[in-house]
Amino acid sequence: MSTYLDNCPQDVEYQTVIQALVARMQHVQRHVCVRDAGRTVIIETVDDPVPDALKFKIFQAIQQAQRKR
């Protein structure tokens, strides 16, 4: 779900449709709220650049999780 939401068009009309759909699906709405809250905390508290090794580890973990689905 996050991959889809992160890569969808950012125009206002498209975002309005997505917000309406998410609002009707409670389980998705919770996921989006948790994701957004986590991002907000990270954005507000971390100013350091992300080391390349960490980016690689995160990318690998995401790839493994997607393969398991």
Q: Which pLDDT score is estimated for 61?
A: 87
DSSP calls for the chain: -HHHHHHS--SHHHHHHHHHHHHH-HHHHHHHHHHHHHHHHHHHH--SPPPHHHHHHHHHHHHHHHHH-
Average pLDDT taken over every residue of the chain: 81
Please give the residue that has the higher pLDDT: either 24 or 9.
24
Residue with tokens 């954005």: 43
Between CA 40 and CA 38 the distance in angstroms is 5
What's the whole-model pTM score? 0.42
Quick: pLDDT tens for 16-42: 887 888 788 877 778 888 888 888 888
Q: How many CA atoms lie within 13 A of 25 on its CB side?
A: 11
